[in-house]
Amino acid sequence: MSCWNLWPIRKHRPLKDDQRANSKDGSDSPPGILASCSFCHVSQANGFNVVYEDDRYIAFRDRNPASLHHIQLIPRRHIRLFTKTATRCSSFDSSAGSVRTLNHSDVEMVKEMETLGNRILDDNQAPREARKLGFHIPPLNSVNHLHLHLMSLPHLSRVKAYKYPVSRGNTTHAKGFSWFVTPSQVVHILERDQKVGVLSV
């Protein structure tokens, strides 16, 4: 259970914690897939309400929505499974797969996710002026698999709104203190070769 209690444990086939995604480690998972990550196994059969999928991305409705339309968009493969010196996922950072591990080379992926996210919200007739897209920043996230929240405002309650605060930047920072960051803020940060964090950056 996460610190937000956002994502209850799923009722689908059990996954072995020691089974990792590495084509050399002998696991049954293909490269880029963590056996212990529920988001690496998103499908209708595994209890997810899938609303979009292609060969790179898949989107599904949040099980505890914060707004009328609340969808999660994820890359099919885990991002940044390994450190540069790691040969097995057992030595990867606890935030691996999150927005914190992105770098300059991921700018196009973030832009692509934002474009696709808006298209999915278009399909759900969500007004352009009443949308919020963003990523939670570790340690205040629920799953360490990169996922973009797509929401049609307003939020269903003040408590739910509190979980998704957007802190605008200024002339020196792309964002202020916040555990939620928009795709455009992420792009701005990565283009300056910086890392996304909770503090102002």
Domain annotation covers residue 89:
yes
Q: Return left, alpha or beta for 83; rule: phi > 0 is left, psi -120 to 50 is alpha, else beta.
A: beta
Q: Taking a C-beta distance cutoff of 8 angstroms, is the pair 75, 97 a contact?
A: no
Domain count for the chain:
1
CATH number at residue 73: 3.30.428.10
Q: How far is CA 178 from the centre of its chain?
A: 16
Q: Is 122 part of a structural domain of the chain? A: yes
pLDDT tens digit sequence for 122-181: 999 999 999 999 999 998 888 889 999 999 999 999 999 999 999 998 888 999 999 999
pLDDT at residue 18 is higher than 60: no
Residue 107 lies in a domain: yes
pLDDT in tens, 40-82: 999 999 999 999 999 999 999 999 999 999 999 999 988 865 4
What CA–CA distance (Å, rounded) separates 72 from 74?
6
Query: Quick check: is 115 in a domain?
Result: yes
Crossing angle (nearest 10°) for helices 107-123 and 183-191: 170
d(CA 7, CA 74): 15
* 63 lies in some domain: yes
CA atoms within 13 A on the CB side of 170: 4
Give the residue numbers spanning the domain of 55: 38-132+143-156
Residue type, 101: T
